Structure 1
Amino acid sequence: MGQVEVNMETTPQSSDRSGSSEEAGCSFMLEAVGWYGTGAIVLAYLLLSLGLLDSNGLPYQALNLSGALGIILISFKKKAYQPAVLNVVWAVIALLAIGKAVL
């Protein structure tokens, strides 16, 4: 039978985890914001497609803007730049539409 080696150095020790609960909380919040962003954009599209929202209305554009911002935050955190850039453009379009609706 072959021998199995266990590398104990890869196992984190409790002394190496300083601030890990704080980092985990921040990570959880960023994940939640990212998932909110995804949900908000999908919800906006669903409600628009069902005729429950007007594409020129503030609720539709607010969902798009807030959703895009959520995805931007998590995308930059994960260094996923393609969805970040897409959602920067998405957010700018939403801001322009909100500006048009308000003015």
Structure 2
Amino acid sequence: MDLLLDAVGWIGAGLLLFGYGMVSTGRMSGDSASYQVANFAGSVALMLNSAHNDAWPSAGLNLIWAGIGAMSLVKLVRLGATR
């Protein structure tokens, strides 16, 4: 289980870095659904890894980050955005 959750954490970190890099280089919009999905999935993965490793400040941060991502995705769905 430790190896699985380590992999989940690395995947989450990769997703967050991917999104940040894409937005920073202008290849993806910060308000796009693809960015918000990467952000949400990455933060959930890191939250699980952090909680498993008893890194509660990081888990809390990623819980809030995931909440922001979820709210952004709901807003995009309500607006009918398909960017």
Residue 82 of structure 1 aligns with which residue?
57
Structure 2 unaligned residues grouped into runs of 5+: 79-83
CA distance in structure 1 between the partners assigned to 2:58 and 2:69 by the alignment: 16
Matched, 1:44 2:19: yes
Give the drift of 1:54.
Answer: 1.0
Find the structure with the greater CA-based Rg: 1
Q: Sequence identity, in percent?
A: 32
- How does the TM-score come out when normalised to structure 1? 0.74
Q: Residue 69 of structure 1 is aligned with which of 44, 54, 67?
A: 44
The number of residue pairs the alignment matches comes to: 78
> When you count helix as a share of all residues, which structure comes out higher?
2
Residue 35 of structure 1 aligns with which residue?
10
**Greater relative contact order (CA < 8 Å, ≥ 6 in sequence):** 2
Q: Which structure 1 residue ranges, 4+ long, deviate > 3 Å from structure 2?
A: none
Backbone CA RMSD of aligned residues: 0.6
